[in-house]
Structure 1
């Protein structure tokens, strides 16, 4: 499943977990990660499905613009795709801790494939509407929520603690590499036939589902605690976050940056189209953008050991605040992609450092609940970002929209620098 471009919002302090490695992980600690069979299966399957998802993600706004020519409609469909991040994460987290995680992974992929298959069918029948695309986007987003929570909760059971940061870095490479390939491919396939990107994604999900069938490891850690009521379990994750000031501060800060970058993607697509860029050129622009993220993912796998969460939280926000105004300077797809690549380069460092510390801090039996609470807050701003981007583009144009988004990002960087929790390094309250 895809990952949002500015994904983050989880943090913690290493060495505070008190967790004991699950049975069998001590023996696996000396095994190179690429020889870990279950990790290799999960990783390679998701390379295929994430690439397919990025192809259709590139094609979706192009399809909406081709149907209606309205940035507002494109923003509405984008909001439908991300609305599950706001309303789905909190109830999904306790279920991920309670249900069979392997089954959640498989059902999420199969359901996403089936719902996406309706798009090319409707296109061939001449019956496709914006409302249909919004429903497809919403269900696909809900599948992503369940899959992402289950994968995050299962990862500490698939790899030993000593390799967790490396595994997260590999997943960053997977996501950014898929976006690098998926952007140009999405534009190219859309230029050939509007249905092709969605057919490709359906096939990629089918291939990833086959890989999931062959996972061997138990992805659930036994617990003697009786299951809580769903509403109380959801609040457990929120309470855990509230007790950790650095976690709380990082989530609030990344909520703002996720809103900004959700809008930025739509701004780039609309601006490139207004400048006369073809679908293939728009896809190439997004591919260059994602290429920066892939380079950043490779770099983060080595650099993460030199940075503390405090340094990353403050530094990354200031880099974004400095780069965003450059989107107002040019409408050339190539340069828009290069500027985007610079913003994307630092994103993986945030994910590897912050999410890695977070994964070590949270007990595995709470992973689903805490991660879902975190993403409800940090990713819940994404539908607002899509709607805001569409409305600002219709009212202010591309340059005006970039300036508004820059102002939000600048305020976020100032807040990160001034935050006592960030400056204090995250002492628990």
Structure 2
């Protein structure tokens, strides 16, 4: 890990709680990417329906829409270490039910919808708790680097998880889900080693949930840059949530095997890993305004290129280019939020932000399934390109983005 310090602070690689949290999530994220690669393949192999695959994918992201707002106040109120551990354990149990149902020849799309929803719900609580805990574990000057390390963790897991998920699915349809269940159990055990109290302020008062969630929404509304960034993230999340399913269906219709599709997704994710590694240094040399505007225009230019090839590896390479710039965007936006928001409000503000920015994901999944059924991959990609173009224009003309202040340098 990169050694970025402030006076009196140890480097990140010597921060025991950060290393514990980071290392446990390497295992968990790898397992999650393995099952995420296998899930649409399982649905398509079972029913042959892109709409069913979109429905299951939407169920996995629906908690980001329906659970984020109430989860934020609870994360500020409950023991964050227990939330982290319980989220991993419950997700593992849900994933374990998939191979059991396959062995009993009782697996249905309805069960996969429920499993995906539970896994998504656990991801909501874990993500909010981790985001709120990180500024307590890591000094402010090291926070952008820590976030970049987390990006590298997730992108690296996606790089390895895609090919492994495709390979395991090709060997036996139960294997990806068994591996993911084991990874969740391992991560839950690793979290027992966290020592630090994961909050820096007083416990949030036991006020009604609606009032607590309103506090997060009010804070966002009063900060134009955060408000603009959340809306821009929502638009790009809508596009890229849909894009993953589009690329899987596109490759499958062109004759790609499960292993080739997994490799394609691994190449796609490899760009994100390289971008996360680059973001640990690039964020110090590029202004936030340049990042926010530039990334959206890069995505707009790259999306039409998917129409120029039918080769799975080439599709993955174009996806890698789109993924490369994503971590830099994430580091800038999440750093702003973590540094500007009081820690006792961070769970509520983050949940409100993610309700908007991630709540569009089920719409992206459902929309992708319906567009694929009606317009095919070509029409779907053209539609997504149009949405991305509108987003890039909005970022360019936003006064809040143009006046974005610099981040602290560590």
TM-score per shorter chain, which class? over 0.9
CA distance in 1, matches of 2:294, 2:300: 10
Aligned match of 1:19: none
Instruction: Give the direction of change, closer, same or farther, for the CA distance of 1:377–1:292 in structure 2 (3 Å limit).
Output: same
Alignment of 1:98-113 (within 5 A): 98-113=77-92
- What CA deviation, in whole Å up to 9, does each residue of 1:379-424 have, x standing for no partner? 0110000001000000001111100100110011011111222223
Alignment of 1:161-172 (within 5 A): 161-172=140-151
Aligned match of 1:177: 156
Is 1:403 aligned with 2:382? yes
CA distance in 2, matches of 1:222, 1:157: 10
Residue 224 of structure 1, CA deviation: 7.2
CA distance in 2, matches of 1:129, 1:310: 47
Aligned match of 1:244: 223
Report how many residues are paired: 402
Residue 358 of structure 1, CA deviation: 1.6
CA distance in 2, matches of 1:338, 1:297: 16
RMSD, aligned CA = 1.4
Is 1:94 aligned with 2:73? yes
Instruction: Give the direction of change, closer, same or farther, for the CA distance of 1:165–1:275 in structure 2 (3 Å limit).
Output: same
With structure 2 as the length reference, what TM-score do the two structures score?
Answer: 0.96
CA distance in 1, matches of 2:39, 2:304: 26
CA distance in 1, matches of 2:169, 2:7: 44
- What CA deviation, in whole Å up to 9, does each residue of 1:14-63 have, x standing for no partner? xxxxxxxxxxxx99943111111111111110000000000000000000
Aligned match of 2:319: 340
Instruction: Give the direction of change, closer, same or farther, for the CA distance of 1:127–1:278 in structure 2 (3 Å limit).
Output: same
Is 1:351 aligned with 2:351? no
Structure 1 residue runs without a partner (length 5+): 1-25
Aligned match of 2:300: 321
Residue 307 of structure 1, CA deviation: 2.1
Q: Determine if contact 2:6/2:142 at 8 Å carries over to the other structure.
A: no
CA distance in 1, matches of 2:95, 2:204: 38
Instruction: Give the direction of change, closer, same or farther, for the CA distance of 1:274–1:98 in structure 2 (3 Å limit).
Output: same
Among 385, 391, 402, the residue aligned to 1:412: 391
- What CA deviation, in whole Å up to 9, does each residue of 1:109-145 have, x standing for no partner? 0000111110000011110000100000001000000
Is 1:160 aligned with 2:169? no
Is 1:63 aligned with 2:29? no
Aligned match of 2:239: 260
CA distance in 1, matches of 2:205, 2:271: 46
- What CA deviation, in whole Å up to 9, does each residue of 1:172-210 have, x standing for no partner? 110000000000000000000000000000111111111
Aligned match of 2:274: 295
Q: Determine if contact 1:293/1:341 at 8 Å carries over to the other structure.
A: yes
Alignment of 1:9-408 (within 5 A): 29-223=8-202, 226-408=205-387
Give the secondary structure class of the aligned counterpart of 2:58.
helix
Residue 426 of structure 1, CA deviation: 6.8
CA distance in 2, matches of 1:220, 1:159: 12
Aligned match of 1:21: none
Aligned match of 1:14: none
